[in-house]
Amino acid sequence: MVPKVAGSNPVIHPKLCPNRPLEIGTFLFIMNWLKIKTYTEISLAMVFWAASFIWYKEAYLYLGPMTLIFIRLIVSSVFLFSLMAILKRLEMVKTKDIPIFLLLALVEPLLYFLGESYGMQIVSSTVGSVIISTIPLFTPFAALIFYKEKISWYKMAGITISFFGVLLVIMGKGFQLIAPVEGIALMFLAVISAVCHSVIIAYLLPRYRILTIILGQSALGVLYFLPIFLLTEWELAKEINWSWTVIEPIIKLGVFPSSLSFIFYARTVRILGITRTNVFINFIPIFTAFMSFYLLNEEMSLGKIIGILVVISGLLFAQSEGLRKSTLNNSKNR
């Protein structure tokens, strides 16, 4: 039994389908454990991605954006290769799939980081966050085109509610967005890249281990960024005083958001599908707001608190379709 990767329904792992039937109580216990595990992993992925904005601020005090991204990907590649070697999960990529891996690394990390890094230097953090938060709005259409994943009103309503909650969190009074066209274009390059990345990840999941996919993405990203780094920031990088203060945020970025977040994200796509997984992206500015409040002493306004509640409501609504179908199926099986 091969799991359905990109569909809208939750997937039962083949190991949970033994030859003899399970008792109803045991089956429900396993299903509940899978749900808890899945939602915990995707939440951790969003926490690590949210924390990256804090670590970016620390690293940018000493490093240029291309230097940081290049070394961050090296750290990620070394960490993932070491993990796979320890777990004895090293896997060769088939020759016919190399172009797919090259395309995966092209859209993310290369195009995504180029769009986000240079775009955030032009637009404000508010405008940038709003644009990045549109990723879940575009994902259902990509899933429909490439995987025939239906766009139900549950999904679209939940996504829309959640997105408006994000606006409440990151927008100030007046809800005015004023930004240069080139900055907006670069940020939307990041959005399109992220959506394409989700589609390619879903394509590769039935063919390779998750660690293989993420390692390939990071290692090829190093090759893509090498000439850019050499042409733009090599001379500046040679003058950096490589103390632990400089190295620490790079290690955090390479291990957590660049490695573990992508592993947890891919595992969730395998279970929930592209659309329902990407709704959780709206959690990133929420977690960032909390971290900024506790670590950077930024204000936690009433508008932000209301926005957080709206985001959570949207997420629950978007996921409720799968839970409803699961309940109906269990009732029929009885």
What's residue 254's pLDDT? Answer: 95
214: buried, middle or exposed (CB in 10 Å: 19+, 13-18, 0-12)?
Answer: buried
Token duo for residue 301: 């306004």
Residues 33 and 26: beta-carbon distance below 8 Å: no
DSSP state at residue 240: -
What's residue 80's pLDDT? Answer: 96
- Report how far residue 65's alpha carbon sits from residue 112's, in angstroms, rounded to the nearest whole number: 13
- Report how far residue 81's alpha carbon sits from residue 214's, in angstroms, rounded to the nearest whole number: 10
* Amino acid residing at 98: I
Instruction: Give me the residue spans of the domains in the chain.
Output: 14-333
What's residue 334's pLDDT? Answer: 46
What's residue 1's pLDDT? Answer: 39
88-93 contacts, C-beta under 8 A, 24 or more apart: 89/209, 89/211, 89/212, 91/208, 91/209, 91/211, 91/212, 93/208, 93/212, 93/216
- Report how far residue 45's alpha carbon sits from residue 89's, in angstroms, rounded to the nearest whole number: 22
Q: How many CA atoms lie within 13 A of 140 on its CB side?
A: 18
Q: Which residues of the chain have pLDDT under 70?
A: 1-31, 124-127, 129-130, 166, 169-179, 296-301, 303-304, 315, 318-334
Task: Find the length of the chain.
Answer: 334
What's residue 158's pLDDT? Answer: 77
What's residue 12's pLDDT? Answer: 44
- Report how far residue 114's alpha carbon sits from residue 225's, in angstroms, rounded to the nearest whole number: 10
For the question of whether the overall pTM of this predicted structure is more than 0.85, the answer is: no
What's residue 41's pLDDT? Answer: 94
